[in-house]
Amino acid sequence: MVAPRNGFTCLALAAVLVATLGPAGPVIADVTLSFVSDQSWAVSSMLSDGSVGDALGNAQCICLPPGGCPCCWTGNTAAIPGACWVWKPGTDSGTVPVDLQGVFVAKTLDIPGIPTGGVLYLAADDFAELQVNGLVVGSIGSVSDYGRAAGAQAGLSQFNLTPFLAPGRNQIVIRGQNGPGSFTGTSCNPCTFGQNPTGVLMGGSVSYDPATPTAERTWGKLKVIYR
C-alpha cells in the first residue's frame, strides 16, 4: 500500500472508507420469547404403545382441590411465573381412568430470526418426556419407581433447548404419564383423578437474533453457535 501523501491522514482515509462502505448498522439486541403451561397448549391422547392418539382440545389447568395435588408438590416456581399444572380437558375429581394414563401437550413457537438460546423448566406427576422438533431432549420421573416420580414432582428440572431450535416454526411437546394406583398408598382400583392426580408443569424462554440473514452480525453469531 502506498503511504498517504499531501496531508492525506489516516483519519481522512477512514472518512473515505465510511463514505464508500456506509456507516456500521445499529446493534440489534436479542429478542426473548417466554412461554408457560396454560390453556393455550394443545392436548392429544396417548395410545397404549406410547404414540400420539386423538386430538382432545386445549389443555386444562388442574388443581383438585384448589391448591391441592398435583399443585401441592412443586416448591419454588419463580422461574415460570403464571404457569399452571395442565392435563386433559374435561378432567375433574371423579375422572376415570387415570392410572398409567398419558397425554401429549404441544405448543408451536414461531422464531422470526436465528435462535441464540433457549431453556425449559419442567415438573411432572409422575413422568414427562420433553421433545423439540421431533427430537427427545430428556425426561424426568417414572411410572415404575416411586422415588424418581416423587423427585419429578418436588421441583423444576432445567433443560437446554438451544441445540434443538431452528428459525421459523418450532414445536415443543411434553409426553406426560401418570403412575399406577399403587403410588397413592391406597387400595383404590381403579383410582379417580381425585385419588391419583396427575399433570405436567412447564415454562421457559427462547432468545433469537432478529437481524436479517445479510447482516454481518447475524452471520458472525451463526458461526459461533454452529461451528
pTM for the full predicted model: 0.81
At residue 67, the pLDDT reads 81
What average pLDDT does the segment 149-169 reach?
97
Whether the per-residue pLDDT at 218 is higher than 60: the answer is no
Q: What pLDDT score was predicted for residue 152?
A: 97
The SS3 assignment for 60 reads strand
Return the CATH number of the domain spanning residue range 30-210.
2.60.120
pLDDT of 29 reads 79
Lowest mean pLDDT among 15-24, 123-132, 155-164: 15-24
Q: What is the pLDDT of residue 138?
A: 98
Residue 212: the pLDDT is 55
The three state secondary structure string of the chain is CCCCCCCCCHHHHHHHHHHHHCCCCCCCCCEEEEEECCCCCEEEEECCCCCEEEEEEECEECCCCCCCCCCCCCCCCCCCCCCCCEECCCCCCCCCCCCCCEEEEEEEEEECCEEEEEEEEEEEECEEEEEECCEEEEEEECCCCHHHHHHHHHCCEEEECHHHCCCEEEEEEEEEECCCHHHHCCCCCCCCCCCCCCEEEEEEEEEEECCCCCCHHHHHHHHHHHC
- How does pLDDT run across 3-61, given as a tens digit for each residue? 444 444 444 434 433 343 444 555 567 999 999 999 999 999 999 999 999 999 999 99
Other C-beta atoms lying within 10 Å of the C-beta of residue 173? 21
pLDDT at 213 over 80: no
**What pLDDT, on the 0 to 100 scale, is given for residue 192?**
97
Nearest of 27, 26, 31, 25 to residue 209 by alpha carbon: 31
Tell me what the pLDDT averaged over the chain comes to. Answer: 86
What is the per-residue pLDDT across 71-122, written as a single tens digit (0 to 9) for each?
A: 888 888 999 999 999 999 999 999 999 999 999 999 999 999 999 999 999 9
Write out the H or E segment, with its range, that includes residue 176: strand 168-177
pLDDT at 26: 56
* Choice between 66 and 226, residue whose per-residue pLDDT is larger: 66
Domain boundaries, the chain: 30-210
